[in-house]
Amino acid sequence: MLKQLEGSVAIAETVAYCRPEVVCAYPITPQTHIVEGVGALVKSGVLSNCEFINVESEFAALSVAIGASAAGARAYTATASQGLLFMAEAVYNAAGLGLPIVMTIGNRAIGAPINIWNDHSDSMALKDAGWIQLFAESNQEAVDLHIQAFRLAEELSCPVMVCVDGFILTHAYERIDVPTQEEVDAFLPPFEPVQVLDPTEPYSIGAMVGPEAFTEVRYLGHQKQLQALHLIPEIAKVFQDVFGRETGGLVHPYRTENAETMIVALGSINGTIKDVVDAMRESGTAIGSIGVCSFRPFPLEALAKALDGAKRVIVVEKSLAPGLGGMLTSDVRMSLLRQAIPVHTVIAGLGGRPVTGVSLTAAFELAVNDQLEDVHFLDLDHAAIEHEVERSRLTRKSGPTAENILRRLGSGV
Amino acid sequence: MFQTRIHGRGGQGVVTAAELLSVAAFLEGRHAQAFPSFGSERMGAPVMSFCRIDDKEIRLREPVQKPDALIIQDPTLLHSVDVFGGLNPNGYILINSRRRFDELGIAEFVAGFPAHHVCDLGATELAMKHVGRPLPNAALLGGFAAISGQLHMDSVAQAIMQKFPGPVGEANVAAAREAYDIAANS
């Protein structure tokens, strides 16, 4: 049913229709509205047969979800930023134990300096913990991915993060087709766990594994992810049959026909990129874009195929690997092992800096003219950088960088 | 695409105003996107929200930088924040104030716009009269519907009633309707 809703509220409603049996909640901006919304639906009885557990930390939130999932319950939680880092040990455990927990990440930067705004540093920090990571381009896709995520997680026995851009999606009101309980029930069968902790039939989960078998356990975890490469598009297809919408899948190619310049990105920035692609196509530039929906597993083949024939690739990244450049870029290069195509990185939107169509267009035009550097920082304030470098060069006791830059910006120099 | 930027202070309902605009547009079968200027705002601090309305899916995710319309909830912002930044020269300006444009010190600026595109409206006074609290939102939305022609007053009323069912909603709708009439005839 079409509704005009805040992204978080639509996600909460949809998660409730997925009938989780245990929801663990610890608030952190910008994810808070989601678990608050699920909590309200448990209280009002819309979501019955569900234990809503307020815990004392993110570490507890995921630990409780792990316990619940191991006992055979469909378990859900959500977090962001520092919260995801605080539960990092449990994140690895959930994947290593093969527990199909679904967790929403309201993507947010990581401190220091403290910053509550959107970028992808949080989920990137845990990208190789063994979870599947799906990135939503819009609130419609965020809603749809949650339904697909439970099915995917439970078919594979592998946890899934649904990554939703904090504020930009979580706090935006837009037209969203929110599914009905009947539709979700028709798509998502009841959870049938492959392992259950049951006192009447006791066994242990999480034993110590030494060098004799650890590699094999890890190898099977890798195989599971490779299996997901087939399952994700299959589930998206079934979803389309039931709901009539094409969302999810591995990659979203847009106007890639005969494109010489190809843009690759994760999440909501793909919307702005599509508008830029339209405008540049209008003025005669052969440009297209590919939104990567499944970041883990990484769709090497699908991407290589979609990028085939391009003269250059520009990866727009909302995170930074200091000392390297872009993390998504590294993976994109891996997909191009057999194709000699230059890949540029545009670091954009860190800590919530708006990524504007004007700035993206300028960067893409530089690339078209072969003038874009390998790693480009969009809208970087060069004067502020130079001033700070010079200031700290002149004195050993130069003090904290962040505070000094802020003081200078505040004084309007 | 029609883009609106709303300026106010934390606690005045800036985010709710954008939400209600988007709901009213949605009720007319249009696409709408509303979002706040994200941050850890405090009560009284200058804040913004945005609403885009279009007949097709809205994919753009940047803040509204070139608005077609401005709603200014608090006239004390006029000289402390660049509220007019990027405004379409043929755009719309709605200010919550009973003072005239020359008293607000913006007569010269406003004179560059078509006369029926600019309006100052005592929305807080209308809210006090109908709702009993100084919350100018509903009245401003009524005024916006009148000057911009983007929304029907009935859709605004329906959006308000959905958000605030019962007597609170009805009082706000009354404020919005009176504001609509004032703005339409100004």
CA B114 to chain centre: 18
Q: Does A113 touch chain B (CB under 8 A)?
A: no
Q: Does B56 touch chain A (CB under 8 A)?
A: no
Q: Does B152 touch chain A (CB under 8 A)?
A: no
DSSP 3-state of B120? strand
Tokens of A56: 């004392």
CB contact under 8 A, A173 and B40: no
Amino acid letter, residue B126: L
Query: CA–CA separation, A105 vs A165, rounded Å?
Result: 8
Strand order in the sheet with B92-96: A2-6, A173-177, B31-36, B46-54, B2-9, B69-72, B92-96, B118-121
Query: CA–CA separation, A7 vs B139, rounded Å?
Result: 27
Q: Does B39 touch chain A (CB under 8 A)?
A: yes
Residue with tokens 């003219």: A369
Choose the closest CB to B63 out of A117, A171, A354. A354
Give φ, ψ of A19 to 5 degrees.
55, 55
pLDDT in tens, chain A (413 residues): 999 999 999 999 999 999 999 999 999 999 999 999 999 999 999 999 999 999 999 999 999 999 999 999 999 999 999 999 999 999 999 999 999 999 999 999 999 999 999 999 999 999 999 999 999 999 999 999 999 999 999 999 999 999 999 999 999 999 999 999 999 999 999 999 999 999 999 999 999 999 999 999 999 999 999 999 999 999 999 999 999 999 999 999 999 999 999 999 999 999 999 999 999 999 999 999 999 999 999 999 999 999 999 999 999 999 999 999 999 999 999 999 999 999 999 999 999 999 999 999 999 999 999 999 999 999 999 999 999 999 999 999 999 999 999 998 887 65
Q: What's the gap in Å between the CA of A360 and the closest CA on chain B?
A: 11
Query: CA–CA separation, A17 vs B126, rounded Å?
Result: 42
DSSP 3-state of A4? strand
Choose the closest CB to B60 out of A116, A272, A352. A272
CB contact under 8 A, A173 and B61: no
The predicted pLDDT at position A193 comes to: 96
Look up residue A134 and give its DSSP letter: E
> A371: burial class by Cβ within 10 Å (0-12, 13-18, 19+)?
exposed
CB contact under 8 A, A118 and B38: yes
**What is the chain A residue with the closest CA to B35?**
A172
Q: Establish whether the linkage from the previous residue to A233 is cis, with ω within 30° of 0.
A: no
Choose the closest CB to B61 out of A4, A116, A269. A269
Which of B61, B158, B162 is best to mutate for the A interface (most A CBs within 10 A)?
B61
CB contact under 8 A, A173 and B35: yes
Neighbour tally for B85: CB within 10 Å: 11
Choose the closest CB to B38 out of A167, A270, A274. A167
Query: CA–CA separation, A281 vs A126, rounded Å?
Result: 36
Look up residue B150 and give its DSSP letter: S
Look up residue B31 and give its DSSP letter: E
Among left, alpha and beta (phi > 0; psi -120 to 50; other), residue A12 is alpha
Tokens of B163: 């958000």
**What is the chain B residue with the closest CA to A171?**
B35
Residues of B in contact with A252 (CB under 8 A): none
CB contact under 8 A, A6 and B19: yes
The predicted pLDDT at position B45 comes to: 87
ipTM of the complex: 0.95
Q: What is the DSSP string of A198-224?
A: -TTS---SS----TTTHHHHHHHHHHH
- Looking at domain B2-184, its CATH class is alpha beta
Could you tell me if A159 and A28 are in contact, meaning their C-beta atoms sit under 8 angstroms apart? no
Which of A170, A174, A263 is best to mutate for the B interface (most B CBs within 10 A)?
A174
Neighbour tally for A341: CB within 10 Å: 16
pTM over 0.80, yes/no? yes
Neighbour tally for A390: CB within 10 Å: 9
Residue range(s) in chain A whose domain bears CATH number 3.40.50.920: 251-377
CB contact under 8 A, B22 and A174: yes
CB contact under 8 A, A173 and B58: no
Kindly tell me the number of DSSP H helices and DSSP E strands found in chain B: 7, 6
Q: Does A272 touch chain B (CB under 8 A)?
A: yes
Q: What's the gap in Å between the CA of A250 and the closest CA on chain B?
A: 20
Mean residue pLDDT of chain B comes to: 95
Tokens of A249: 């899948």
Neighbour tally for A233: CB within 10 Å: 18
Could you tell me if A159 and A149 are in contact, meaning their C-beta atoms sit under 8 angstroms apart? no
Give φ, ψ of B88 to 5 degrees.
-55, 125
Query: CA–CA separation, A49 vs A52, rounded Å?
Result: 10
Q: Which residues pair with A77 in a beta bridge?
A: A24, A103
Q: What's the gap in Å between the CA of B119 and the closest CA on chain A?
A: 27
> A183: burial class by Cβ within 10 Å (0-12, 13-18, 19+)?
middle
Look up residue A159 and give its DSSP letter: -
Q: Does B1 touch chain A (CB under 8 A)?
A: no
State which H helix or E strand residue A227 sits in. helix A214-243
User: Domain segments of chain B: what residues?
Assistant: 2-184
Select from A151, A142, A41 the least CA-distant residue to A100: A151
The predicted pLDDT at position B42 comes to: 75
Could you tell me if B75 and B96 are in contact, meaning their C-beta atoms sit under 8 angstroms apart? yes
What are the pLDDT digits (tens) for B39-96?
A: 666 788 899 999 999 999 999 999 999 999 999 999 999 988 899 999 999 999 999 9
Q: What's the gap in Å between the CA of A253 and the closest CA on chain B?
A: 15
DSSP 3-state of B20? helix
Tokens of A183: 């539709």
Kindly tell me the number of DSSP H helices and DSSP E strands found in chain A: 15, 15
Query: CA–CA separation, B40 vs B48, rounded Å?
Result: 12
Identify each DSSP E strand in A339-413 by its residue range. Answer: 343-347, 375-377
**CA A344 → CA A287, A294, A372, distances in Å?**
15, 21, 7
Residue range(s) in chain A whose domain bears CATH number 3.40.50.970: 2-243
Query: CA–CA separation, B69 vs B24, rounded Å?
Result: 16
**∠ Cα A310 A311 A314 (to 5°):** 85
Select from B38, B45, B34, B40 the least CA-distant residue to B12: B45
Query: CA–CA separation, A151 vs A190, rounded Å?
Result: 9
DSSP 3-state of A3? strand
Amino acid letter, residue B141: L
The predicted pLDDT at position B41 comes to: 65
The predicted pLDDT at position A139 comes to: 98
- Beta-strand pair A75-79/A102-107: parallel
Query: CA–CA separation, A409 vs A72, rounded Å?
Result: 54
DSSP 3-state of B118? strand
Choose the closest CB to A271 out of B26, B39, B61. B61
- Looking at domain A2-243, its CATH class is alpha beta
> What dotted CATH number matches A251-377?
3.40.50.920
How does A139-150 read in b/e, with b if 16+ C-beta sit within 10 Å? bbbbbbbbbbbb
